């Protein structure tokens, strides 16, 4: 089953026929909210709003372990994450949708693994390709079928938040090879891999990163929602198309 984790601007799916909601408790605590089960075009999906349905949980306080554990426990095998980002690379301007292919993790202090504690054998995961390659292809194909343009690839810099970055930080991320910056990509991606979930992301550029383009003198936070809303309409179309490419 496909699970969708919605980020800022996507706290519900208008095209989802909701069948039920379920509160799940996990060994890692509670997820961001009840899981919403439903049907899109005759395909079962599970939806979870990453920041809670009232958008009250900041990126560094999201219980990523509980979220992914709950989705896996309820039968999800593929997870598509929708996340808003700031664009660093020149072509990643507000409104652009991209499917990143790599991650650099700058987060700290988050509960980032299921393999802690001393009572288990140390286990490592391969993370060469942090996003599932087949799922990335499915998302790009889904976007194509939905006639929505979508950039293939980009390096996602995961920052701690909740504050935005300084110009010097964005310059550093760019030197490191990052194309976009967001606050929730990690540890979501690596926890998914630890659970054996196929995970990929749809990144929605909602602003130029600090010091770039229209954010040269500061990120205009009040304009972000006017970019986010129409972009999420396009994301919903891609998701509707993605459920058809079921990959299972
Ligand atoms: N920086 C970090 N995270 C973000 C941004 C940004 O500029 N825009 C949306 N999420």
Paired strand residues for 1 = none
| Percent of the chain scoring above 90 in pLDDT | 87
Q: Does the CB atom of residue 231 touch ligand 1 within 6 A?
A: no
CB distance 238 to 142 below 8 Å: yes
Ligand 1, closest atom to CA 159?
Answer: 2
Output 35 or 10, whichever has higher pLDDT: 35
Q: Model confidence over 28-79: pLDDT tens digits?
A: 999 999 999 999 989 999 999 999 988 899 999 999 999 999 999 999 999 9
CATH topology of domain 2-246: Rossmann fold (3.40.50)
State the pLDDT at residue 248.
53
CB distance 240 to 143 below 8 Å: no
Q: Does the CB atom of residue 94 touch ligand 1 within 6 A?
A: no
Residue located via tokens 């372990």: 65
Three-state SS for 9? coil
- 184 C-alpha to ligand 1 centroid (Å): 10
State the pLDDT at residue 54.
84
Indicate if the alpha-carbon torsion angle 60, 7, 239, 53 is positive or negative: positive
Mutational test site, ligand 1, from 7, 50, 62, 85, max ligand atoms within 8 Å of CB: 85
Which pTM was predicted?
Answer: 0.96
Name the closest-CA residue to atom 9, ligand 1.
85
Ligand 1, closest atom to CA 209?
Answer: 7
Q: Does the CB atom of residue 98 touch ligand 1 within 6 A?
A: no
The pair phi, psi for residue 29, each rounded to 5°, is 105, -160
- CB neighbourhood size of 220 (10 A): 13
State the pLDDT at residue 8.
82
């Amino acid at each position: 089953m496909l699970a969708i984790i919605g980020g800022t601007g996507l706290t519900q799916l208008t095209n989802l026929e909701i069948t039920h909601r379920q509160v799940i408790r996990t060994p890692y605590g509670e997820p961001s909210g009840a899981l919403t089960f439903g049907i899109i075009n005759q395909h079962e999906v599970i939806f979870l709003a990453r920041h809670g349905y009232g958008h009250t949980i900041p990126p560094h306080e999201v219980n990523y372990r509980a979220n992914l554990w709950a989705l896996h426990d309820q039968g999800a095998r593929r997870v598509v994450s929708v996340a808003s980002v700031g664009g660093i690379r020149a072509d990643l301007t507000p409104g652009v949708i991209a499917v990143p292919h790599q991650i650099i993790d700058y987060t700290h202090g988050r509960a980032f693994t299921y393999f802690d504690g001393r009572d288990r054998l140390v286990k490592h995961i391969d993370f060469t390709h942090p996003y599932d390659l087949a799922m990335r292809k499915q998302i790009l194909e889904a976007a194509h079928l939905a006639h929505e343009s979508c950039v293939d690839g980009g390096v996602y810099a995961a920052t701690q938040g909740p504050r935005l970055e300084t110009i010097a930080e964005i310059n550093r991320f760019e030197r490191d090879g990052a194309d976009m910056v967001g606050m929730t990509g990690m540890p979501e991606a690596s926890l998914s891999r630890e659970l054996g979930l196929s995970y990929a992301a749809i990144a929605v550029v909602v602003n130029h990163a600090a010091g770039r383009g229209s954010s040269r003198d500061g990120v205009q936070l009040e304009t972000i929602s006017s970019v986010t809303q129409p972009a999420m309409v396009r994301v919903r179309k891609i998701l509707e198309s993605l459920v058809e490419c079921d990959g299972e």
